[in-house]
Every structure is written in structure tokens, then in C-alpha cells.
Chain A
Amino acid sequence: MLDPISLIIFIAVGGVLIGAGVHFIPVGGAPAAMATATGVGTGTAMLAAGAGMTGLVTAASMTGQPMILVVLAGAIGAMLMMGFTMLIANYIYVYGCGVVPASAKVDNDPITGRNQEIYCTPGTEGHGIPTVCFVSGIIGSLMGGAGGGLIYYVVNNAATNASFITTPIEAAALAAIIAISVYFINSVIASYNIGGTIEGFHDPKFKKIGRGFAACLIASILCAILCVLILGGI
């Protein structure tokens, strides 16, 4: 069984991974839904949480396995969700709306080197999900999924040994609820730091990641202390 200090450290690490991961995910918010901005057409916290939930389910399907496998399963689940979502969204942008994926934040794609500017519709901040945004989204979901999986593993481990838990399914449910809560808290903090939309690691807003990192660390430590109290106190 994990001691309370280790539990706090692991939850804090998981929370920071989630918060940092959100900064990588290309979200264009409402403007992207009209192909007015580059990225996925939904909110930062919502998309990150959606990926995190898939990672949580795949991590939970590994219950009983070593920590590294549970964390990796969480990361793979979140990456699958993000990868399929970005690909299908791009199919809709290209075939349904007739737009070319292009970023307005850089002149050339840092990965493919392709020109972006001449493909952007005037009056927009780009549209679709170009390669650099796609790769950035995959990195972000890897971090977020791994963080969620880590929190699920340690809380499930601690809850299984808690005096008031009688069945494994109760421990899994409690671990899931705490993991979802920490995921949402860190996603929302990160989305406030981003301030609406971000294209990924090549976006100038990405430089604010340090401040988001610190805020998520503080919030995650507070969440971890509450979690220790819920699980039976120190």
C-alpha cells in the first residue's frame, strides 16, 4: 500500500502531466467549428477531458497490472481518442467544407516545412488540423492520458486497502471519480492559462506553459491532500 506522502506526490505528478498536456492539444474553440481558426472545433477542457475519459477506461481495463502498464494503457487510450477525433474532424474539414488544413501562427509547418500562409482563407486564423497540430495533439493526449492513468492507479491502490471499502468495484468507482475530478480541475486551469485557443507547441501562447505548470502543481497538491483525507486520513 502507498503511504500518504507517496500518494500526494503521485497525484501531483499526474495532475501536472494533465495540465501540461492540455497546452499541447490544438483547440480552436467556437471559431474552429466555423473554420475560422486552426484546431479542433471545441473547448480546451472538454476535448482534453474527453481524451482523458477514454484513457481512464483503458487504464481501468488494466486493473491488477503493474503501474507502468496501467499508465501506458491510459496514454494509449487517450492518444487513440485524440488521433481518431482529429483525423475524422480533418476529413470533415477537407471533404465536407472544402478547406485545406493550414496554420496562421507559423509561415511554414515546423514538421513538414510546408507553406501555410497561402492556404489560409483571408479573415481567418487558419483552419483544419495541419500535421504539426496533429502531432502536438498526440503528445498532449499522451501526457494527459498517462497522468490520468497514474492517478487512477494510485487512488485505486490506496482505496483497495482503505477500511471503509469492501469490494474492488467500490475502489474502482472511487478512483475513477477522483481521477475525473483531478482531470477536470487541471484541464480548466490550463484552459484559463491558454485563454481560449491554442494550436500546439508551435503557438506563441505555448510559452505560458510554465505558469500553467505551477498553477496545476498547486491545485493538484490540494486535490491530493483532500484525496488522502477522503481515503481515511493520515
Chain B
Amino acid sequence: MDPITLGVVALIGIAATIGGASEDIESDIGSESNPNSQVQLAPQMGHLHRMVNKAISGEPVAYGVWCGISCSVAYLVMTLNAGFLSLPIIAIAIGATVAALVHVIYTTTAHIGRIVGQAQFQQPLFYDLLIECLGPIAGHGFIATFCITSFCYLMTIPLGGNPLVSFPLPVLGVVWGITIGAIGSSTGDVHYGTESEYQTYPFGGGTPVAIQGDIVTKEACGAKNSIDVGNFCAKFGGPLTGVCFGLIVFFSFWITVVFGVTGGIIAGAIIILILIYLNFRLETFARNVYGPYEEEAEPAEEAEIVEEAEKAGQ
């Protein structure tokens, strides 16, 4: 076990955690993943909204592009031998900045195109909302691509003679970009789709088909917008997405760095068995604590309960 390689693998895991969390919050603000189906459906159900809607591409493919752009530009600047600018940290920042600029252009055109398509349902295009959200989208996107480009670079530098992965930086960026998009879309966006969009419905159940499209359009202070979504999801879904991506990237290399080639494969198999057990325990916990689904009391029954409570109060 090489301690320097192990330290770099830990650093890679931390960068992946920060990047993963930022990616999920960005995709929630930009409404780029599957819960966007409800934002798209809402005007047809009579719920006009102030949400950014830029889901003209799947999240994995979009992030493959952003990270590919960032890594390509960073690789180009590093190989230019342009003095200060070619320092890896500066080159990576330049790459992530270019990716953020492209991201802003994509967001603007995608949002306007999507919303204009809903004009037949009287959905207005709010320019103030778009301009307000461009900064958070570009900012979170920048952090995500910066972190991913950074750890991709760390994977390609020779550690103890050999790099962790012998891919060119741009290819590695596309590969990890697709992966983080798939992870963010699968984990953190559930918090946005199931909870943030349906906060008016009671906690503790799935979303029946009958209420789909009836998304929340008001917040504690005024109309709900995409910044409120980011604020909500940053408290649970975003950080867990970061933890998920960090663990995946870390364990993908930690097992072979610590246990060697054959030992690493055995260690990986043991970790997977532990994951199956943890999921079983989680399911057991949920079944015991929440119990079977119970229908809410009917309005008439509720009225009786209120009446009885009032009488008891008197």
C-alpha cells in the first residue's frame, strides 16, 4: 500500500463528494431531471409556475458534455506551456469557466424554448426568473465541473510510476460526467420530485397518478421559484448525492490500492454483500416504523373528530 496514492484517492473522494452535491443542487434548480415531467405537466393542469425548465437533455449526457468541455479545455491550456496559465489548478479553473459559459447558453435557450412551447396553456415566460437563476445554475455547475476535472486530473498523473487510470483527461471527464449525471438523477432528484414538488400533500406516501401535475407553486413568501427548490434540496438530497458519488469514486480505487489486484476484487465483492444487507435493514426499519399504508380519514370523519375535540375542550 502506497500512502501517497492512498492520500490522493482520499482527496479524489472528497472532490467527488463536493462535486456530487453541487451537481444535484444545480440539476434541482435547473429542473433538469425526471421530476421536470411535473413542471412540464403543471400548466396543462392549470398550475402556472415560476420554475426554470431546461430538461432538453438527460442529466448524464448533459454532464458528460460539461465535464468533457472542462477537461478538454483544461488539458489544452496545460499543454500550451503558457506559463502561469498552464498551472494545473489555473488550467482546470479556466476549463470549468468555459463549461459554465456553455452551460449558461444552454440553460437560456433550453428554458425559453421549453416555456414558449407551453404558451398554449397560458404559461408566461418570466425573464426575471431566468436571469435570477442563471447565477446559481452556472455557479453550482462550475463547482461540479471544477471538482470532477480536478479529480480526473489527479487520476491521470503518475503516482508511484503509474496513473490510476490510463485514459486521456477529456475521455475520463466524459466518463465521470456521465456517471455523476446518472447518480444525481437517481438519488437526489427523488427528494425534489417526491417532496419539494408535492409539499402540500401529507408526508409519508408515494405520489398517486391522480394528483400528478398539481405541484406547489407558492412558498412561505410569494410565488415559489427554482431558488426555493435549491434551498429545500440542499438540506438532504444534495448532500446525500455527494456522499453517494464520493463513496463510489473512493471505493472504486481504495480496494485495489489497499488490497492489491485480486484482494481488491474480493474486497469489492464483500462491500457489495454489505450493501445488500444494509438495504435489507433499511427496508426492515421502514416497514417497522411506518407500517402498512393507511388511508387518511374521510372529511366527514374528520369533522366528527373536530367536533368531539371541541366538545372535550368545552
Chain A residues in contact with chain B, CB under 8 A?
A: 29-30, 32-36, 40-43, 46-47, 49-51, 53-54, 56-58, 60-63, 65, 69, 72-73, 76-77, 79-81, 83-101, 112, 114, 118-124, 126-131, 134-135, 138, 168-169, 172-173, 176-177, 180
Instruction: From B209, B212, B256, B286, name the one whose CB has the most chain A CB atoms within 10 angstroms.
Output: B286
Chain B residues in contact with chain A, CB under 8 A?
A: 33-35, 37-38, 58-61, 164-168, 171-172, 174-176, 178-179, 181-183, 185-195, 197-198, 203-212, 236-237, 240-241, 243-244, 247-248, 251-253, 255-256, 261-262, 264-265, 268-269, 271-272, 275-276, 278-280, 282-283, 285-287, 290, 292-293, 295
Min CB–CB distance B63 → chain A (angstroms) = 10
Report the bound CA distance from A141 to B223 in whole Å: 43
Say what secondary structure dominates the interface of chain A. helix
Min CB–CB distance B192 → chain A (angstroms) = 8
- By the criterion CB–CB under 8 Å, are A84 and B244 in contact? yes
- By the criterion CB–CB under 8 Å, are A123 and B209 in contact? yes
- By the criterion CB–CB under 8 Å, are A84 and B248 in contact? yes
Known: A36-B206, A168-B166, A176-B171. A53 touches B287 (CB 8 A): no
Question: Which residues on B sit within 8 Å (CB–CB) of A46?
Answer: 58-61, 181-182, 185
- By the criterion CB–CB under 8 Å, are A34 and B194 in contact? yes
Question: Which residues on A sit within 8 Å (CB–CB) of B276?
Answer: 83, 131, 134-135, 138
- By the criterion CB–CB under 8 Å, are A100 and B290 in contact? yes
How many inter-chain contacts with C-beta < 8 Å in the A-B complex? Answer: 271
Say what secondary structure dominates the interface of chain B. helix
- By the criterion CB–CB under 8 Å, are B269 and A76 in contact? yes
Other-chain contact of B37, A30, A62, A89, A123 (Cβ < 8 Å): A30
Min CB–CB distance A97 → chain B (angstroms) = 4
- By the criterion CB–CB under 8 Å, are B175 and A57 in contact? yes
Other-chain contact of B195, A79, A97, A121 (Cβ < 8 Å): A97
Known: A34-B38, A85-B244, A100-B287. A122 touches B166 (CB 8 A): no
User: B246 — nearest CB in chain A belongs to which residue?
Assistant: A84
